[in-house]
Structures are given as C-alpha cells and as structure tokens.
Structure 1
Amino acid sequence: MSWFRCADPRPGAPTRLVCLPHAGGSAVFYRTWAKEISPAVEVHAVQYPGRADRMGDALVTDAGSLAHQIVDAMAPLVDRPVALFGHSMGAVLAYEVARLLQARGDAPVHLFASGARPPHDRGDDRVHERDDDGVVAELTKLGGTDADALRDPELRELVLPYVRNDFALIETYAHRDGTRLDVPVTTIIGDADPHVNEAQAARWAEVTDGPFALTVLPGGHFYLADRRADVIAEIVRALDVPAVP
C-alpha cells in the first residue's frame, strides 16, 4: 500500500509539500489543502500504517524506523524540491525525515513544524500508559478527536490501538546526535496550546543552521483546523510561490 495520498496531482507544480499527521491522525486531515494552496505546490499526505485504508498494515512503534520508511517511500517524490509540514507528532517525524533526506543529498527546501515542542525538549508525557478513558480524555483536551464518537465500544476497539501506539511512539522518542539541519525552519503554534508554549516553540531554532521563524496564531493545539488559511498563507510566503489567483 502506498505511503502517500495526493488528492490533486499537479505534474507541472515546481514544488511538493509532504504533510505528516498528528498522533492518531491520517492523511485525510490534509485532503482539502490542495484546493487552497498555490497551484505551484503539489500536496502529498503521509498515510501511516495501521489506520484508514492501511488498517491491515502493522503499526510502527519506533519514530526512527517510521522516519526511515517514509524517506525510502519518498524516493519518487524528490525529483522536485520538497518541503515538509508536520503537526504535533508529525512535526518531530518531519524533523527526522528532514535529517535523513539531507544526509542523502536531498535536503528539503523548508521544514514547517506545527504544534510541537522541539525534538530535544520533549517533556515527560505518558498518555500511552493511561487506560482507555485516560487516552480519550487527552484527545478531548487537545481537541483532535470527537470524544462522543469514542464512547462507542466498537469504534474504540478500532481506533484506540493506533492512537495509543502513536502516543507511545512520540512519548518514547529520544533525540539523538546526527545530521544537523541547515534548512529553513518555520514553527507555527496556537497561542492557547496546552502542549507547547511560545518559549518552547522558539527552541526549534536550535536544531538548524538555516533561517528560523516562529508564528503564533489564535487557537489551541488544533488551531490549524480553524486557521488553515493562515497556515497555508504562511507556507506559500515561506516557499515564495505564487498564491492562489
């Protein structure tokens, strides 16, 4: 099964944007982006194993392994300049993907890290060790999942294994020395995000020798659901591509 979903293929677009979802998320989160972003950008969203149309594929339990598998699958995409956008767990994975791409000589043109503490300042969260009600409570707090729907026992049985896996993957992640980025990094957060504050987000500047920018938008952890147009405008500006006519 393919690792990427591209809702609007654009053979003539000079730039590709590869988007990495949050914990418990899937490629569908980015489905509408293609219609709202510049025609000069082709959007691809990563579909992690173990969910949606990859429900039958084995979950990946280690961030480093997952990043390597994503990079291997990206080989057909790096014939054009590639930018990376990751939200929450996806931001840290995007960072690891960026390091691997740079080491292979295919450095991304930009890394956008959304709603996440930097890879070397992860904190000590242990949501994956909670019972099911505790995991659902965290999802409700962050605002990314309909908690009412997860009261359905059958839905819980389907969804919670990969949600818990994702929380374990990112909460056991440990930053390791290795390739240091020299690409531009932009961090975007919501001003009321309980997961990351502005001071923590600013430390993303420490992982690159390239230019750094920090943007704070109104909203919580999933600020980008309501501020999608602002996020896309920031991406278009940073990539210096034409806006949607």
Structure 2
Amino acid sequence: MNPRTDTPATQAPSDLDRWFRRYWPRPAARRRIVLFPHGGGSASFYRGLAKRLLPAAEPLIAQYPGREDRLEERHITVMAELADRACEALLPALDREFVFFGHSMGAAVAHEVALRLEHRHGVAPALLCLSGRPAPRHHKPGSKHLDDEALWDELGRLGATPSLLLANPQVRRVVLPTLRADYRLVERYRPGTSPMLSCPVAACLGDQDPEVTPQEAEAWSEVSRGGFTFRLFAGDHFFFRGQEDDLVGWLLTTTDREAA
C-alpha cells in the first residue's frame, strides 16, 4: 500500500514563535509588551513579571538561542546579529501598539531592536523601557567572558541564582556556556553613535545596583527626542523580584501617559 500523500506535514514554528514566548496568548489585546531578558537569562525567568501585565496587555518574552527549549541552537555572540534576527522575527507582532522592556543586557538588545524597527521599517514602540543598564555613552567593555571562575562569581554577586544552585556542578555545566556567550556579546559590544529615536524612553534601576549608577541610567535620555522618564526602585540589580506589581504599575502608567 502506498503511503498517504494528503496528510498535512507538521507545521514548523514561525520565527516569531521561535524567538518569543507567548505563555498567555491574548490575540485581541490592544497592546503587546515585549520583554528582553538579561545576560544568561531566559524567557521563563520573566514569567512572573509577564503574568502581571494581564489583562492590560499581551506579554511576549524573547527567548535567545542556546537556552531552555532552544538549547540545541548555537549561541549568538555578536549584538548586531542578535538584534537583526530578533527584529525580523518580531515584525508580525507589531500590528498594534507595542512596548519594549529590557533588563541589563536585554536593555541594550531592546534599544538596538528599536533602532532597527524605526530606521529600517518605520515603526516605533509606544515606550522603550530600559532597566538595570548604563546608557550607551557609559557602556563598559570587559573580559569576564574569558574566565569561567570570574563568570560564575559574577552570577553569585548579582544575585540572579540561589546559592544552592550555584553549588550544583550539573547546573554549572548547563548554565556556564550561555553565560559565557552572553557576556562575550555584551562585553565586546560597541554601541557607537546611533541615530536618535522618536519614541518616549523610560529608565529604571535598583538603588543598590552594583553595576549601574543613577547618572549612568539617566543618560538614556540622550537616545531619543521623544521624552524621558526615570524611576529609582529600592533593591539590587534584580530589584523587581518581590516588587513586580510596583514595576508593572509604573510601566503601564508611564505607557498610558506617553500614549495619551
């Protein structure tokens, strides 16, 4: 017996679905908020924050290659390639108002994607929110990606991972390649002189963040002529853990004010 030829093949995921996690799809939402994770981070880390955006918006969380369900894909270690590919994948989701939120490395990615969207495709976010990251003028190159022990110590210093997991050799084997690749990307990144954006920009920071000063974060005002808002939260580099409601309330209020 000949095999059937009229059975539809399994549909491959779109680039949007490969690059962005929609844990709670809301196709009728009037607004989408796109979250870009920190270096070494993944989409699942931001589930709690994203869920608090409901029902005001549909959250999309970037899933960079080389982690979680994209573990078998190669890491991207050049900012231009990461931003180019994320930008192209995101285009089908920009059929309504959208907001960007990026934390740490994710803030630089969000900024680069916003630049590509405005200057190549003529679309801009209703708000570009940049968290826990110095503005481009204060970018700090580094070399931690060359030293595994320094990288692992950095993970503990920033408080992103519980000490029990840091002591687990299996966790280290899984996490370290992603951490190394992301640090290589951000430490070798050179922002250069970029054209101005037209969208409103907001920046936020924990008041005990060891990586960024308020002055370095407030310099994000220089990247756009669309207006600027700054908020200093209590906390360290991952200040939003435990006060997600406060961050989301500020983010949505700022978006509504700028969009009015």
Q: TM-score, normalised by structure 1?
A: 0.94
Mapped to 2, the partners of 1:29 and 1:100 lie a distance apart of 26
Q: CA deviation at 1:178?
A: 3.5
2:254 is aligned with 1:238: yes
- Indicate if the aligned counterparts of 1:120 and 1:174 stay in contact, CA closer than 8 A: no
- Kindly provide the amino acid, as one letter, of the partner of residue 41 in structure 1: A
Q: CA deviation at 1:151?
A: 2.6
- Indicate if the aligned counterparts of 1:84 and 1:112 stay in contact, CA closer than 8 A: yes
2:194 is aligned with 1:184: no
The one of 188, 192, 208 equivalent to 1:172 is 188
- Indicate if the aligned counterparts of 1:139 and 1:147 stay in contact, CA closer than 8 A: no
Pairing of 1:58-207 with structure 2 (within 5 A): 58-103=74-119, 104-130=121-147, 132-207=148-223
> Which of 1 and 2 has greater Rg?
2
Mapped to 1, the partners of 2:75 and 2:52 lie a distance apart of 31
- Kindly provide the amino acid, as one letter, of the partner of residue 109 in structure 1: A
What is the alpha-carbon root mean square deviation over aligned residues? 1.4
Name the residue aligned to 1:215: 231
Q: Which runs of 5+ in 1 are unaligned?
A: none
Q: CA deviation at 1:182?
A: 1.2
Tell me the matched-pair count: 240
- Indicate if the aligned counterparts of 1:136 and 1:147 stay in contact, CA closer than 8 A: no
- Indicate if the aligned counterparts of 1:21 and 1:87 stay in contact, CA closer than 8 A: yes
- Kindly provide the amino acid, as one letter, of the partner of residue 139 in structure 1: L
Mapped to 2, the partners of 1:145 and 1:164 lie a distance apart of 15
Mapped to 1, the partners of 2:40 and 2:79 lie a distance apart of 14
Which shifted more, 1-10 or 84-93? 1-10
- Kindly provide the amino acid, as one letter, of the partner of residue 203 in structure 2: T
**What percentage of aligned pairs have identical amino acids?**
39
Q: Which runs of 5+ in 2 are unaligned?
A: 1-12
The one of 18, 22, 27 equivalent to 2:43 is 27
* SS of 1:17 mapped into structure 2: strand
Name the residue aligned to 2:28: 12
* SS of 2:138 mapped into structure 1: coil
User: C-alpha offsets along residues 180-237 of structure 1, whole Å, 9 cap, x if unaligned?
Assistant: 1111111010000000011111111011111101100000000011221111011110
- Structure 1 segments of 4+ aligned residues over 6 angstroms from their partners: none
Q: TM-score, normalised by structure 2?
A: 0.88
Mapped to 1, the partners of 2:20 and 2:51 lie a distance apart of 17
2:237 is aligned with 1:225: no
Name the residue aligned to 1:41: 57
Mapped to 2, the partners of 1:106 and 1:182 lie a distance apart of 10
- Indicate if the aligned counterparts of 2:107 and 2:133 stay in contact, CA closer than 8 A: yes
